[in-house]
């Protein structure tokens, strides 16, 4: 009897999508406005989902207060109001696409959550564009 529980949080961050092996023209062709050299911001929504058996003692799959604290202390503190390219270690050598941001968030939280529980990250970069990791 597995149940999935989710917590939604949000953060603002700036980024530039850029492949340093390409010319500015090629970057502009591939990444469009997201390659603007002076960066731009997004209001990201992140949904962290944990799936597992409810604990028979509490009825909880995962304490949502604890999940909220984990996200705030380990993810939002590192990404919120940051320039992802310049202010974080994660994207020094990794393009800060929604895909890569979701994988980074998953890797951070995976270390904090019991391995018996499945973890999924859904990241909205805009209201209409979102990614999920893992994919299934």
Chain residue at closest Cβ approach to Ni ion:
34
Decide if 125 is catalytic.
yes
Please compute, for residue 38, the number of CA atoms within 13 A of its CA located in the half-sphere on the CB side: 0
Q: Does 61 bind Ni ion (CB under 5 A)?
A: no
Decide if 42 is catalytic.
no
Rounded to a whole number of angstroms, the minimum distance from the CB of residue 6 to Ni ion is: 24
Q: Which residues in 28-57 contact Ni ion (CB under 5 A)? A: 34
Decide if 34 is catalytic.
yes
- With beta carbons less than 8 A apart as the criterion, state whether 13 and 84 touch: yes
Rounded to a whole number of angstroms, the minimum distance from the CB of residue 57 to Ni ion is: 44
Q: Which residues in 104-123 contact Ni ion (CB under 5 A)? A: none
Residue closer to Ni ion by CB (options 62, 124) is 124
| Beta-bridge mates of residue 51 | 4, 118
Pick the piece of the chain touching Ni ion (CB under 5 A) from 26-34, 79-87, 91-99, 127-135: 26-34
Rounded to a whole number of angstroms, the minimum distance from the CB of residue 59 to Ni ion is: 41
- Could you list the active site residues? 34, 81, 125
Applying CB under 5 A, the residues found at the interface with Ni ion are 34
């Amino acid at each position: 009897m597995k149940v999935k529980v989710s917590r939604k949080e949000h953060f603002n961050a700036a980024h530039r999508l850029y492949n340093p092996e390409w010319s500015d023209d090629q970057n502009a062709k591939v990444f469009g406005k997201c390659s603007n050299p002076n960066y731009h911001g997004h209001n990201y929504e992140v949904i962290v989902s944990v799936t597992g058996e409810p604990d028979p003692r509490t009825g909880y799959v995962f304490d949502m207060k604890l999940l909220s604290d984990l996200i705030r202390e380990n993810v939002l503190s590192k990404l919120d109001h940051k320039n992802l390219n310049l202010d974080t270690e994660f994207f020094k050598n990794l393009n800060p696409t929604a895909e890569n941001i979701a994988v980074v968030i998953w890797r951070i939280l995976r270390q904090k959550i019991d391995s018996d529980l499945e973890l999924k990250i859904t990241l909205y970069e805009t209201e209409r564009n979102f990614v999920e990791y893992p994919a299934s």
